[in-house]
Amino acid sequence: MPEYALWSVVILLGLELMSYLVNEIPQRFFNPSAIPIRGKHLDVLSWKDISFITWNKFTTTLFTYHALRFCWLSPRIAWGWSEMTILNTVIAFFSLFVVYDFFYCIWHRILHVRGLYKFIHKHHHHQAAPSRGNADAVNVHPIEFIVGEYCHLLAIFIIPCHAVVAAVFVVLGGILASLNHTRYDIAVPLLFDTKAHDQHHVIPTVNYGQYTMLWDRVFGTYVPHPLSSRPKAE
Ligand SMILES: [Zn+2]
Ligand SMILES: [Zn+2]
């Protein structure tokens, strides 16, 4: 118990630091209002929003504890520096995101099923123009959050990788999901685009992926953001 309490403090402080940096660092390189607001921005967080955000941050301490414990005990996760290979680093790194988004897309589509939507996922969509980064990203119903978090563990379970890659996957995942809920236009061609998730907040029946639009392209639910489909002005 004392170790878990210490672990929780470290994770919660880390989350606060990440939330701060996700808004502050890109500001030096990107326009903080590059993605135009097209829906109603949730200006004031209600007690329910704040309770969900706080609860979900505490859930993250449990998820990261289980992820660390799994990596420590699983014979499929390498720890030694000398055990690093192309397969368990570079290839595993990309595979983790692909596998994660496969399950996340399915989960996200289930959340949008008529009849179920209003009980869980509607809460996240009452913010039509996310801007707060991490706070808007984790402002979801606790059931939605816990399944989304443990999909990371499912991906690590499926893809044998190096412990460092598993850690990078989880931390980078938190950063990218937070960036998806800012107005920064940050894109890596074919891999990641903050505008794609903004499009989902405007048109909830498209772009179900969290990190990549790969599965949306496969399932035919990918619709590019107007800024992505428009040719750049000279
Ligand atoms: Zn969202
Ligand atoms: Zn949604």
The answer, yes or no, to whether residue 167 has pLDDT greater than 60, is: yes
| 3-state secondary structure labels for all residues of the chain | CHHHHHHHHHHHHHHHHHHHHHHHHHHCCCCCCCCCCCCCCCCCCCHHHHHHHHHHHHHHHHHHHHHHHHHHHCCCCECCHHHCCCHHHHHHHHHHHHHHHHHHHHHHHHHCCCCCHHHCCHHHHCCCCCCCCHHHHCCCCHHHHHHHHHHHHHHHHHCCCEHHHHHHHHHHHHHHHHHCCCCCCCEECCCEEHHHHHHHHHCCCCCCCCCCCHHHHHHCCCCCCHHHHCCCCC
What spacing in Å lies between the alpha carbon of 88 and ligand 2's midpoint? Answer: 32
| pLDDT value of position 234 | 42
Find the distance separating the first CA and the last CA of the chain, reported in whole Å.
Answer: 60
| pLDDT value of position 228 | 83
- The larger pLDDT score, comparing residue 230 to residue 56, is at 56
| pLDDT value of position 2 | 85
What spacing in Å lies between the alpha carbon of 154 and ligand 1's midpoint? Answer: 21
What spacing in Å lies between the alpha carbon of 92 and ligand 1's midpoint? Answer: 26
Closest to 185 measured CA to CA, from 230, 222, 218, 126: 230
What spacing in Å lies between the alpha carbon of 33 and ligand 2's midpoint? Answer: 22
Average pLDDT over residues 212-224: 96
| pLDDT value of position 46 | 96
The answer, yes or no, to whether residue 35 has pLDDT greater than 70, is: yes
Closest ligand to Cα 197? 1
Q: Which of 9-18, 36-45, 91-100 has the lowest mean pLDDT?
A: 36-45
CB-count burial class (<10 Å; 0-12, 13-18, 19+) for 44: exposed
Average pLDDT over residues 31-38: 90
Closest ligand to Cα 208? 2
What spacing in Å lies between the alpha carbon of 174 and ligand 1's midpoint? Answer: 13
Query: pLDDT > 70: what percent of the chain?
Result: 98
